[in-house]
Amino acid sequence: MRHETQVLVCPDCQRVHDLDLDTCASCGSIALICRLGEIECRSCGEVRLARDGEPLVTAGPAGSARMPGLAAEVEAALDRVLGRS
């Protein structure tokens, strides 16, 4: 996670310490995942709400955008799965 946005980092780059990644408040791990408006630490299991409790999604390689909420996230997923435009 970086600024509460989930990012993918290759294993070699994870070893670099200047990535400015978010860390768990409990254990300091960078192994965080964001799903349905919650951020969970994969190391210790601590769960907290993302900013405003809303899910975050990436909007491109350099930025992020906020969807209006869970209903919009579910609708977007259904559209993808069902091939709706």
Is residue 56's pLDDT more than 70? no
- For residue 3, is it within any domain? no
pLDDT tens sequence across 62-82: 444 444 577 777 888 888 888
- For residue 24, is it within any domain? yes
Structure confidence at residue 17 as a pLDDT band (50, 70, 90): low
- What is the average pLDDT value for the chain, to the nearest integer? 76
Q: What is the extent of the structural domain holding 25?
A: 11-82
Stretch 40-55: mean pLDDT, rounded?
79
- For residue 4, is it within any domain? no
- For residue 33, is it within any domain? yes
Q: Please count the structural domains in the chain.
A: 1
Can you spell out the DSSP letters for 1-67?
A: -BTTB-----HHHHT-S-S-----TTT----EEEETTEEEETTT--EEEPGGG--EEE-SSS-EEE-
Q: Name the percent of the chain lying above pLDDT 70.
A: 76
- For residue 5, is it within any domain? no
